[in-house]
Structure 1
Amino acid sequence: MIQGLFDTDGCVSRFRDLSFSNISILLIKDLQRLLLIFGIVARIRKRKGRPIQMDSKSYETKDHYELIIAQKESILAFRQHIGFRIQRKQAALEEVATAIQRNIRHIFCPVCGYLLFKDLFCGRTKSHETWGAKKLAIIQCLGKEGCLSSKVLEKKLGFPPYKKMRRLNHHFELLKRTRVGNEKFWELNPIGHYIYELTKNNFTNFNSVFSLNNCPLCNETFEKKIKGNWRAGDFEGDIFWDILRKATKESGEKYPFVYDVVLPSDGSNDHFFAAEGFLIHNSAGVNLPAFRVIIQSPYRYTDFGMDRIPISEFRQMSGRAGRPKYDSEGQAVLIAKTEFEKDDYISYYVNGETEPCRSRLSSESALRFHLLATIASGFIFDLESAEKFFSATLYAKQEGDLSALFSKINTLTSQLRDMGFVELSEKRIDATLLGRRVAQLYLDPVSAFAIVNSLRKEKYNDAAYLYTIANTNEFFPYLSVPRQKEGELWEAIQGQKGLLAVNVELEMFTDNSMLPKFWTSLMLKDWIGEVKEQEIVETYKVQPGILRAKLQNADWLAYSSFELAKILLLEGHFGPLAKMRKRLQGGIREELIPLCELRGIGRVRARRMYNAGIKGIAEVKKTDVQDLGKLLGEKVAASVKRQLAATK
């Protein structure tokens, strides 16, 4: 059946991926799930209808959905398990599959245990090429000289034979390193000798290893890894990303164990996944008891590439193993792929010393936040008490010389005065009523000042409130703006400059984050406009967990804006901000607010009732429970009626 669908409406595109098109989203999603049976992961996108030419005639196509198989392992699985019956399509698939299989990333011998990367002696950048040449020099030096100590090897080479970052030391797979006392000795291992003999006259012979199907040492079949492409890491380990439809609490007798798995962190994995008896989450985000903690990798992506997590973070994760009152011990597992990796992890994470704790008061934003909080709480009331207070902090113990800190405190105190959060006299520093409320709300004073300035502009529309919420440090990081959308968004900002509570002409040239802030505010606008969550996820390229975190932040900032408006006596904002908070909480338009006050009624049920003519609580009371049950289900309808009866 799947083959027949792809024979008719499927193709191999010029971008070397497979696709299937149809106007039925239900068929597309069913096919997506059927493909998972074969280990084939596909993504869905919506395509606008457009005119096409066939046999000199023009036809107008409808809007449709496209199922795309772009991940390389999935394309190979499609060829193996499904394929095409139409010869020209199958030939195109074979061509794509052959190109994929030639593009090898590394080979692995499961018996000998070595892992050889194809770019071991080369690289994409000039620095990588330079280090590749140096790695070849290391192998050639040890091949000629035999076993050498670290000091002697470095002296002969003229450079250290390793890099601090593990991912740059793939040549260790060819080496045997032995520690004798305080000295480490280096020599080639068996596969290292083979590679040396192969490359000593011409290093390009190294590539011939990757055309072999079997290990030249033990004749075991190689495991070959092709180079990844679009979100390749998402599909390793048979993980499929989907919306969590239902969560239930089960008895401990039926499920006595909880497995706690940490996925690689890229800033987006702050929500839970449930699959095959595993509860998967970023362990820094929750506090759940677990007998066993499994850490897939101690590396994560940073601004500087893949880097190790700190020892303190590893121990924080591992420390979650062992359930109080249930276990006498806990198990923490860190997965290593090779013997060298295992030794490295034990040396660094198990036997290494935890990094020292550093004070964050060196950050101006953190210092400003804590300075206002201590003034508002009465711990600081003049410059002398400020010096006394901060002299007792961890920062003071670590830095010693506090002259720069006290100078910064003087500057920040003046800034807080200019913002209207503190009052200064010759003898005292006191928080204003506004400043105390900012501290109680745990707002960054800079964010609070931006909110206050926006509220004073007296703009009472959705666009103004949503941009005010996004225009805060608390909402960072902002959503990434697609490059093709930038021109369109700048035009939209110009079109709405009369609505926004900022000086658009000035902000365009002084705030480099204005476009991402505006894009983020549009995401919030779609949410309160009742756009489906899945559509928001796809449009703004935001994962469900991050979307939920952003909405929680928006709720807090809407509440904070309302509280600041009360302090400023800006009564015109009271009603709109109260409604905005309700809408952010429920993801609803204004007319659904009364219906969503009922327990068990969310935006879907409320919209269903509203469209049926039940537009308020009075209409709900008048509607017969059986008629209500047709819209909401019998149990929910009965619950709603009980709620209304209890309020009489």
Structure 2
Amino acid sequence: MPAGRGWTRTGRRCWSAHRSNREELWDRYVDGEPEPVESQLRDRAALRTHVLAVVAAGFADSQASILDLLGETFYAHQTPDPDLGGVVGDVIAELIEAELLAPADEAGVELTATELGTQVSRQYVTPETGRRIVDGLGRIDRMADDRVTPLTVLAVVCDTPDMDDTYLGNGERASLYQFARRHDAELPVEMDQIDAFESWLESVKTARILTAWTEEATVAELVSEYRIGPGDLESRVDRAEWLLGAADALAGVVGIDVPEIDRVRGAL
């Protein structure tokens, strides 16, 4: 069996257990059946991230070289004769359309990462998150300065795949909808232009919670009012800091100045 990184035939692991549950853990982890493991490259979003990363890092500069690299992955090992040519071609086209990759020659055979694509990869955000942040920054740039608030910038980063979802109970929808209506001038997207409304409403809830956190609401107050666990709150704060940092870096690439980003990061 392969062990560790690469295809070595042997490996070593250390195991420590209290005597009270030693037999149970031995049965599960030593004598038990191996759990199934599947490559994340089966997921289209993960494949987009991987393709952008290998081009941005200089490991590949064409569809052919990308396929050569993917041929050495666990996905290729796990899937006999994987037909990646078509899906990789589609992913490359999507990344070019998102302005994260660009043809490097007239024939369109060679590829290069754009400055934006390189920065997206460097910030460890997914291509879709990077594109959504840039689009959100563009909308903020068209807003009047007095309309840009902490809620504005938090709404941008919360409405991305890299922000954890926040549960929205049935009893919360009406009040959250009313909140969005009241703060419509601060939100970077108009409600009648939203396709995935339920998902967007969840992102507004997350942005609302984080805005309250920047205004020094306590953990107990937020847990009570928004039905979010303390650990989940901490996770959202950490991710918001990371995504706001990414937004700041991407803003520099596209030439948009949003001072509110730094202010909110400092308040988190």
Classify the TM-score, shorter chain. 0.7 to 0.9
| C-alpha contact 1:479 1:540 (8 A) present in aligned 2 | no
Matched, 1:519 2:205: yes
For residues 462-500 of structure 1, what are the alpha-carbon distances to aligned partners after superposition, in whole Å with 9 as ceiling and x for unaligned?
221011121111112x22123222112112222323321
Separation in 1 of the partners of 2:86 and 2:65?
A: 14
Which string of whole-angstrom CA distances, capped at 9 and with x for unpartnered residues, describes residues 448-473 of structure 1?
Answer: 11100000012432221011121111
2:93 aligned residue:
414
The one-letter amino acid of 2:181's match is: Q
The structure with the largest helix share of the pair is: 2
Paired position in structure 1 for 2:243: 557
Of residues 353, 361, 369, the one that matches 2:41 is 361
Asked if 1:567 is matched to 2:249, the reply is no
3-state SS of 2:112 partner: strand
Matched, 1:440 2:136: no
TM-score by length of 2: 0.85
Counterpart residue type for residue 406 of structure 1: G
Q: For residues 100-129 of structure 1, give each alpha carbon's deviation from its aligned partner in whole angstroms, at most 9, with x where no partner exists.
A: xxxxxxxxxxxxxxxxxxxxxxxxxxxxxx
Taking structure 1 as reference, are residues 412 and 523 closer, same or farther at Cα in structure 2, changes over 3 Å only? same
Residue in structure 2 matching 1:466, options 154, 167, 184:
154
User: In 2, distance between residues paired with 1:519 and 1:389?
Assistant: 41
Equivalences for 1:421-570 in 2 at 5 Å? Answer: 421-424=100-103, 425=105, 426-457=108-139, 458=141, 459=143, 460-476=148-164, 478-507=165-194, 509-570=195-256
* Runs of 4+ with >6 A deviation: none
In structure 2, do the counterparts of structure 1 residues 347 and 562 end up closer, same or farther at CA, with 3 Å as the change threshold? closer
Deviation at 1:358, TM superposition (A): 2.5
Task: Give the aligned residue type for 2:168.
Answer: V
Task: Please state if 1:352 is matched with 2:38.
Answer: no
Aligned to 1:361, what secondary structure does the other structure show?
helix
Give 3-state SS (helix, strand or coil) of 2:40's partner. coil
Indicate the SS of the match to 1:416: helix
Q: What's the secondary structure of 1:497's corresponding residue?
A: coil
- Alpha-carbon deviation of 1:533? 1.9
Aligned residues: 247
Matched residues, percent identical?
24
CA distance in 2, matches of 1:449, 1:504: 20
Structure 1 residue ranges without an equivalent (≥5): 1-317, 322-329, 337-341, 585-648
1:368 to partner: Cα distance = 0.9
> Residue 594 of structure 1 aligns with which residue?
none
Radius of gyration: which is bigger? 1
* Letter of the 2:70 counterpart: F
Distance in 1 (CA, whole Å) between partners of 2:81 and 2:87 is 13
Aligned mates of 1:505, 1:446 — CA distance in 2: 22
Tell me by how many angstroms 1:348 deviates.
Answer: 5.0
Give the aligned CA root-mean-square deviation in angstroms. Answer: 2.1
SS at match of 1:513: helix
Cα shift at 1:350: 4.0
Instruction: Find the aligned partners of 1:443 and 1:528 in 2 and give their Cα distance.
Output: 23
Partner of 1:423: helix, strand, or coil? strand
The reply to whether residue 376 of structure 1 matches residue 56 of structure 2 is: yes
**Residue 502 to residue 334, structure 1, CA distance change in 2 (3 Å):** farther
Instruction: Give CA-to-partner distance per residue, 1:610-647, whole Å, 9 cap, x none.
Output: xxxxxxxxxxxxxxxxxxxxxxxxxxxxxxxxxxxxxx
CA distance in 2, matches of 1:557, 1:582: 13
* Structure 2 partner of 1:578: 262
Partners of 2:45 and 2:197 lie apart in 1 by 18
Q: CA separation in 2, counterparts of 1:332 and 1:375?
A: 50
In 2, the alpha carbon distance for the partners of 1:351 and 1:440 equals: 41
Deviation at 1:550?
1.3
Counterparts in 2 of 1:511 and 1:430: CA distance versus 1, 3 Å: farther
Mapped partners of 2:19, 2:30: distance in 1? 11
Higher RCO structure, 1 or 2 (CA under 8 Å, sep 6+): 2
Where do 5+ consecutive residues of structure 2 fail to align? 1-12
Distance in 2 (alpha carbons) for counterparts of 1:406 and 1:577: 40
- CA shift for structure 1 position 516: 1.2
Q: Could you state the TM-score of these two structures normalised by the residue count of structure 1?
A: 0.36
Residue 512 of structure 1: CA displacement?
A: 3.0
Partner of 1:472, secondary structure, is: coil
Residues in 2 aligned to 1:564 and 1:485: alpha-carbon distance in whole angstroms: 33
3-state SS of paired residue (1:430): strand
Q: In structure 2, how many angstroms separate the alpha carbons of the residues matched to 1:411 and 1:332?
A: 54
How many Å separate the matches in 2 of 1:543 and 1:485?
16
Q: Assess, with a 3 A threshold, how the Cα gap between structure 1 residues 393 and 534 changes in structure 2: closer, same or farther.
A: same
Q: 1:550 to 1:335 in 2, by over 3 A?
A: farther
